[in-house]
């Protein structure tokens, strides 16, 4: 569960909470906020006005199709939040802080900022067509994804009441193929003293007899983070519509020395050589991020092992920890309990401090209960990331049906909170990705969209050996470019590379001048979600840097600084290096789905996900181009582009 800026109570032992919500007048924490009446009146007024707009202009909730339909009218629907009716000081009361368990979504000048005058046409375009999202309201972390009796299950953090964080329950959807989904009723409500302030992130474990259990974090009536056990009410139901919470919950409370709000997100369990089960839970001690390890036989009684699975100083709170094996030999994914000499273990943490997902490869000693990184220089939180863009609170599961490990992640909004309220929904899930060990480099994993997404492809366009000269832009005529799957290869003349002089200058995607900064060997790549005038453009590109000794480093970047003319949108530059081996062409795959762009370099060694909110480059005005801003090289590009059909996402 991603909860920014949580308070710490290091060294304070946890006292057992009452078994009833009615004990001694201990009302749930969410009902004990200062100035409640004033807050409720103001937020109620805003909610009523937003609901009125949503009903008048929004999507039709009676339809199973949640994708944008005909182009809506141009009326401005968001400017009322900047009117005299609700001054900006009132807007700030809508944000949440530490007392509520989460910091404000909007920071800096976006906090209470007057929103851009979005029209319904613009807002409707932002809804995706083949990424999973609820029909309305707020969504964040994926929970306990699994495959059960012919169905893939996605549980997720969900606010059924508004497009902002709060009132968190477990949303639930099922799919036969990870692409087309059917929404189901809420799986677990926040209805017990041990989870009344939120049914937060959890993980599923299958027992040897086929039984399924779920461990999840609950935020109690005292806003303490505890771990709880749940199981299907009817194991014969393949859609797992109803869940029972164990009557002895919570099964784990914060141990001495751990902050009461620094104990969350249990992993899928794995077995020990002795036949016991282990889980790990994220936490911190001062500024050292750690993963605690517990052992159990029945998932009701747990023993805390001495020490930690691993910890890294300076990384802060570890949340949404994940721990799983990858094979060094076979292509298949592995069950979470696999171990041995042909196996590496991935330890991943979502860092609460910087909101990114980091991982490292290492070796797991089952006897000692410890994990050691292969390379401490790129340890968890200071080295590799799953994705160098907008990608957080991820969770994997082992798909026993297709013998693969599948990765999900929460893709948050990067616009203003006011715009989210106008739109009526916030956040997406990434396209599910497979995870494999990169046998060629031996130093990283590869993430790649699941094969099923290719079933949405239609209307292929191919552009072979297109020469893009220095300083030029080449349009690619494919019609509307808002739902695309793009595969591209770029060739650079090796003789030219050798002749170009090296430099002692350093390069960094984030600190650079973006795609407009010209170097001898880059940048070059694609412009997606770009209008005809190029006033709005989203470049995805490579940049090759050559040092004075003749060594090359290749960077993969995504520049959002000119992606939108809206003023209430974060427009960052994302990126990192990408390993390119001798003889390899530069390769790029990009999935464009309205307001989300997911890109993968070198078959998935480096990935970047971004949210894009153009005001002009939408519908038929969204175009795609090749570009080359290098000064000394021409680039030859070969590209395949498919239009993507919409996924079928149905209501209950």
Question: Cα angle at 293 between 292 and 295, to 5 degrees?
Answer: 150
Measure Cα distances from 254 to 202, 257, 281 in Å: 16, 8, 10
Distance CA 448, CA 470 (A): 31
Is 620 in contact with 518 (CB distance < 8 Å)?
no
Active site residue 141: yes
- As a 3-state breakdown, the chain gives helix, strand, coil percent values, each rounded to 5, of 15, 40, 50
Selected catalytic residue, list 23, 65, 141, 508: 141
- The token duo for 487 is 């595969």
Q: Running DSSP on this structure, what letter comes out for residue 357? A: E
Is 395 in contact with 286 (CB distance < 8 Å)?
no
Within 10 angstroms of residue 532's Cβ, the number of other Cβ atoms is 12
Is 632 in contact with 470 (CB distance < 8 Å)?
yes
By DSSP bridging, strand 151-159 and strand 137-148 are antiparallel
Q: What is the dihedral of CA 69, 74, 77, 82, to 10 degrees?
A: 150
Is 292 in contact with 283 (CB distance < 8 Å)?
yes
Q: Which residues contact 633 (CB under 8 A, 6 or more apart)?
A: 470, 492, 493, 496, 497, 500, 520, 521
Is 429 in contact with 132 (CB distance < 8 Å)?
yes
Distance CA 413, CA 434 (A): 24
- The token duo for 588 is 């790029």
SS3 461: strand
Nearest to 599 by CA among 511, 488, 515, 509: 488
Catalytic residues: 141
């Amino acid at each position: 569960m991603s909860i920014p800026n949580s308070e710490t109570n290091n060294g304070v032992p946890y006292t057992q909470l009452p078994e009833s919500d009615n004990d001694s007048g201990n009302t749930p924490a969410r009902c004990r906020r200062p100035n409640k009446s004033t807050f409720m009146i103001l937020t109620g007024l805003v909610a009523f006005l937003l609901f009125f707009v949503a009903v008048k202009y929004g999507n039709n909730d009676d339809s199973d199709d949640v994708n944008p339909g005909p182009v809506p009218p141009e009326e401005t629907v968001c400017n009322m939040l900047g009117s005299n009716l609700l001054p900006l000081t009132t807007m700030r009361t809508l944000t949440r802080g530490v007392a509520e368990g989460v910091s404000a979504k909007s920071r800096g000048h976006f906090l209470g900022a007057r929103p851009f005058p979005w029209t319904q046409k613009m807002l409707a375009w932002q809804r995706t067509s083949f990424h999973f999202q609820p029909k309305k309201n707020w969504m964040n972390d994926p929970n306990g994804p699994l495959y059960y009796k012919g169905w893939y299950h996605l549980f997720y953090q969900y606010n059924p009441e508004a497009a902002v964080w709060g009132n968190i329950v477990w949303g639930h959807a099922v799919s036969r193929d990870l692409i087309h989904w059917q929404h189901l009723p809420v799986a677990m409500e926040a209805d017990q003293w041990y989870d009344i302030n939120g049914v937060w992130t959890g993980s599923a474990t299958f027992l040897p007899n086929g039984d399924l259990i779920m461990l999840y974090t609950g935020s109690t009536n005292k806003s303490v983070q505890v771990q709880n056990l749940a199981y299907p009410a009817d194991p014969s139901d393949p859609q797992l519509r109803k869940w029972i919470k164990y009557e002895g919950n919570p099964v784990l409370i914060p141990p001495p020395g751990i902050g009461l709000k620094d104990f969350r997100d249990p992993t899928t369990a794995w077995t020990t050589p002795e036949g016991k089960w282990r889980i790990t839970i994220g936490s911190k001690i001062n500024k050292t991020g750690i993963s605690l390890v517990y052992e159990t036989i029945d998932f009701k009684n747990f023993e805390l092992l001495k020490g930690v699975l691993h910890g890294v100083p300076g990384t802060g709170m570890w949340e949404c920890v994940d721990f799983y094996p990858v094979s060094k030999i076979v292509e298949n994914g592995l069950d979470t309990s696999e171990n041995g000499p042909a196996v590496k273990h991935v330890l991943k943490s979502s860092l609460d401090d910087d909101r990114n997902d980091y991982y490292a490869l290492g070796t797991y000693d089952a006897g000692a209960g410890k994990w050691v990184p292969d390379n401490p220089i790129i340890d968890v939180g200071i080295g590799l990331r799953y994705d160098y863009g907008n990608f957080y609170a991820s969770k994997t599961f082992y798909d026993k049906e297709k013998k693969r490990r599948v990765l999900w992640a929460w893709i948050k909004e990067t616009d203003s909170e006011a715009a989210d309220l106008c739109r009526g929904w916030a956040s997406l899930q990434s396209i599910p990705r497979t995870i494999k060990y990169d046998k060629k480099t031996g130093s990283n994993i590869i993430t790649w969209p699941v094969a099923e997404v290719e079933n949405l492809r239609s209307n292929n366009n191919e552009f072979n050996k297109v020469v893009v000269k220095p300083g030029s832009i080449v349009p690619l005529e494919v019609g509307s470019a808002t739902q695309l799957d793009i595969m591209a290869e770029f060739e650079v003349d090796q003789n030219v590379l050798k002749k170009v002089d090296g430099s002692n200058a350093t390069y960094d995607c984030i600190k650079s001048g973006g795609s407009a900064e010209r170097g001898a060997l880059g940048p070059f790549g694609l412009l997606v979600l770009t209008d005809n005038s190029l006033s709005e453009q989203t470049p995805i590109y490579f940049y090759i840097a050559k040092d004075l000794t003749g060594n090359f480093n290749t960077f993969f970047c995504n520049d959002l600084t000119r992606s939108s003319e809206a003023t209430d949108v974060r427009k960052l530059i994302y990126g990192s290096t990408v390993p390119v081996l001798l003889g390899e062409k530069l390769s790029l795959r990009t999935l464009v789905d309205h307001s989300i762009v997911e890109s993968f370099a070198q078959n998935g060694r480096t990935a970047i996900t971004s949210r894009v909110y153009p005001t002009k480059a939408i519908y038929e005005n969204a175009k795609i181009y090749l570009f080359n801003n290098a000064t000394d090289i021409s680039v030859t590009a070969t590209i395949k582009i498919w239009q993507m059909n919409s996924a079928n996402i149905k209501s209950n």
